[in-house]
Chain A
Amino acid sequence: MVLSRRNALRGAAGSVLLASASPIARAADKVYHLGITLPLTGADAEAAHLILHGAQLAIKLANQSGELGDIRLEPMILNNATATAGQYDPAQAATNARKLAGTRTVLANVGPEMSGSGKAMAPILSMASLATITPSSTAPDITSPTYAGEFDPGGKPIYFRTVTTDAYQGPNMANFYAEVLKAKSVYLLDDSGAYGVGLANAFEAQARKKGMKVLGRDRLDPKAADYSAVLTKIAATKPASLYYGGTMQAGVKLVKQSYQIIPHVIKGGGDGILSPEMMTAAGFPAAEGWYGTNASPHVVDDPKLANWVALYTKTYGVAPDDYAITAYDAALVAIAGIKAVQKAGKPLTAATVRDAIASVHVNGLQGPISFDKYGDMTSHIVAVFQFHQDKSAPLGDLNKQMRYVGVAPQH
């Protein structure tokens, strides 16, 4: 057992007393909070809960192990979704960020899931010097020095990630198209959203560098239902491949209709399409063969993590995905920051924890984690998956209905 300062003082009164008093001592521990902000209702709810449980598990294990000394860490869970939006809602994310910034016991935050929410939260958290560690939001703008005035007015990085960004997700996938799939030409589509446009832009720039012929670029209205016109136009250009930057709102219709109109073209997208809706709403055979990426290494099937996966599954009754792992890692980063402040003997505040997080080195489930001076991960691994129907498994089981292809080339 690690002796905390308070327990060490009590140690003078004798170990018998200490042992019998430990439950009381626990109750008297100072309680601090780790925020968790995710879209827990609506369209994003399923994925958000996997992330939530990852962070919860890390907090639970840290409290149990006693590594935090005389403090107890509790999650402060806030919902980033609203019924009006039906999914994540940046306005709600901003409200939540204000609540976190206004609560003195909040030392750091895990989240958000979506970059749209991240853009709303970052300026508020920046002014409060409150660090947030996102397990899945990948828009490069939020941490880019170009947009620091907008997203980081406080001047010190507060937006840390345990995934890489679309600045790598898009280009690495372009490398995969060119080098592994040997696609000579590509047509690009996005869904008009910040995430989709940024991802497609990043892919396009690298595809050109790789000598792929970019046959065209168009934008889908995610609320429209009929993409047959744009797909007919694409079919006429005879592309070898199609790359889609966006989420499943437009994705469901694109996957279904592209199967009708351009069935033999290589098709892929980013982590926005690695969603159970790909199977439950778009469905097979339309989804068959689509490629997608995760902005993190694929470790959930790694035998080294079998015990962790079993513990997670037993505790929450659901199997984790890769972003549950990056969420666990995100909470580990926050906990490491807190421990570093404790070790340095500084007062525990959001600002001291933020400073500590900026220079931590954590051995996460996905491997070593550290951050560059903007808060981005120093490793840039992008995992590629391909949808392939497994009729023996439930249709909504993402882990079974797609297979891991490998790491996308990084140069």
Chain B
Amino acid sequence: MTGTAVFLQQLVNGLSLGAMYALLALGFTLVYGILELINFAHFNVFMVGAFVGLIVLQSFGLQGQTVLLHGAPLVLALLASLAVTMLASGVLGVLIERYTLRPMRNVRGPMAMITTIGVSYILFNLVLLLTNAQALNYPDPMPSVDYHLGGVTIRLKAVIIWVVAAVLMWGLNLFVRRSRLGKAMRAVAQDAEAARMMGVEVDQVVMIAFFAGSALAGAAGMIFGLYYNFTQYSIGYTAGLRAFTAAVLGGIGNVPGAMVGGLLIGLIETIGSQYIAAKWADVIIFSILIFTLVFRPAGLLGAQSPNRS
């Protein structure tokens, strides 16, 4: 491999990784944008999503490492699995909001954030105990196709991730900007009290934000499983932390910012691993984060948080 090919290959690797971080970062940003709450439970909603996806795929008969379905039935089975996984994860997010966060909506201080850490640990330990801490093999139903372009290998799986992530992110952006509910969401984000006076159902809007963010985390979980071909109780930790960093880097509360941040963190990780060393990946990522925030405290695209006057 030539130096240029290696560089381009790392760009390709970084884009896939970044797409995953971006999907996960959107959930942080949606909730923060509306409630100014860092939702640490999001880490493990993603992890649970990967397991839900595994169960759903298996119920469609997609098991093991062999390609059992082809063409339209495969695409339909994957889309149906994705939809069920997103629904289940979305509902989990709503339940978390309804039963653990809503009761302390008006409590000042870090209580709500600490609660999300608690919920995160409960999910983490439940899955750990249920799976006996074992890593599980994920079905690999997609045909193994590689495209070779001038020394760079692009796997079909990677292309699918980019497309699915782009569609989901574009859909969310459209939803937030164009739909009535999206408008309500932005109104609540700006001033929840004023929005309530204008007739916006604030509780409903918050619930929808949790649903959408968690559904995206679930999608990211299933995509993670299909791409890396395994899942384990601990997958939420590193991915979640980097996705959170991505959200802050892009400008927390800002939907396009989360996408940009996710892609950037993915690229920094792969390029850093190539030219410095993989063991320095975290040092590099977090140094860049601190450096960026020193000069642009609101993140690259500017933070958006509710006005608390």
Contacts and interface: CB of A to CB of B under 8 A. Distances in A.
Contact of A281 (B129, B134, B277, B282): B134
B230 A281 contact: yes
Nearest to B275: A233
Interface string B1-34: 1000010011001101100000000000000000
Nearest to A42: B133
B133 A86 contact: yes
A74 interface: no
B279 A86 contact: no
Interface residues of A, number: 39
Nearest to A235: B1
Given A256-B228, A281-B230, A283-B65, A218 B278 contact: yes
Q: In terms of DSSP, what is the predominant structure of the interface of chain B?
A: helix
B137 interface: yes
A224 B137 contact: no
Nearest to A45: B132
A86 B278 contact: no
Residue among A42, A248, A257 with most chain B CB within 10 A:
A42
B220 to A, nearest CB: 11
B282 A280 contact: no
A372 interface: no
A204 to B, nearest CB: 15
Contacts of A355: none
A192 B13 contact: no
A224 B237 CA distance: 8
A220 interface: yes
B65 A277 contact: no
Contacts of A283: 64-65, 137, 229
Interface string B115-126: 000000000010
Given A86-B233, A256-B229, A277-B134, A228 B270 contact: yes
Contacts of A257: 228
A86 B234 contact: yes
Nearest to B127: A86
A228 B267 CA distance: 12
B156 to A, nearest CB: 12
Interface in A211-245: 218-221, 223-230, 232-233, 235-236
A15 interface: no
Contacts of A41: 132
A42 B237 CA distance: 18
Contacts of A224: 238, 281
B279 A248 contact: no
B79 to A, nearest CB: 24
A249 B134 CA distance: 9
Contacts of B102: none
Contact of A226 (B17, B133, B134, B232): B17
Contacts of B14: 229
B233 A281 contact: no
Contact of B135 (A42, A192, A228, A248): A248
B136 A228 contact: no
Contact of A236 (B1, B128, B282): B1
Nearest to A223: B238
Contact of B237 (A218, A223, A285): A223
A280 B137 CA distance: 6
B183 interface: no
A283 B134 CA distance: 13
A3 B2 CA distance: 79
Contact of A225 (B137, B224, B281): B224
Contact of A218 (B135, B136, B230, B277): B277
A220 B224 CA distance: 19
A260 interface: yes
Given A192-B279, A219-B278, A232 B10 contact: yes
Contacts of B237: 223
A374 interface: no
A63 interface: no
B237 to A, nearest CB: 5
Contacts of B232: 252, 281
A13 interface: no
A84 B232 CA distance: 15
B118 to A, nearest CB: 14
Contact of B13 (A221, A225, A232, A277): A232
Nearest to B2: A236
A192 B278 CA distance: 11
Residue among A45, A230, A235, A248 with most chain B CB within 10 A:
A230
A119 to B, nearest CB: 21
B173 interface: no
Interface of B: 1, 6, 9-10, 13-14, 16-17, 64-65, 125, 128-129, 132-137, 155, 224, 228-230, 232-235, 237-239, 269-274, 277-279, 281-282
19 contacts: A41-B132, A42-B132, A42-B133, A86-B233, A218-B279, A219-B278, A219-B279, A224-B281, A229-B269, A232-B9, A233-B273, A249-B135, A252-B230, A280-B134, A280-B137, A281-B135, A281-B136, A282-B230, A284-B65
Given A230-B273, A256-B228, 17 more contacts: A42-B132, A43-B133, A86-B128, A87-B133, A218-B278, A221-B278, A221-B281, A223-B234, A225-B239, A230-B278, A235-B1, A236-B6, A249-B234, A256-B230, A257-B228, A280-B137, A281-B134
Interface of A: 41-43, 45, 83-84, 86-87, 192, 218-221, 223-230, 232-233, 235-236, 248-249, 252-253, 256-257, 260, 277, 280-285
Q: Which 8 A-B pairs have the closest CB atoms?
A: A229-B273, A219-B279, A281-B135, A229-B270, A86-B133, A230-B278, A43-B133, A228-B13
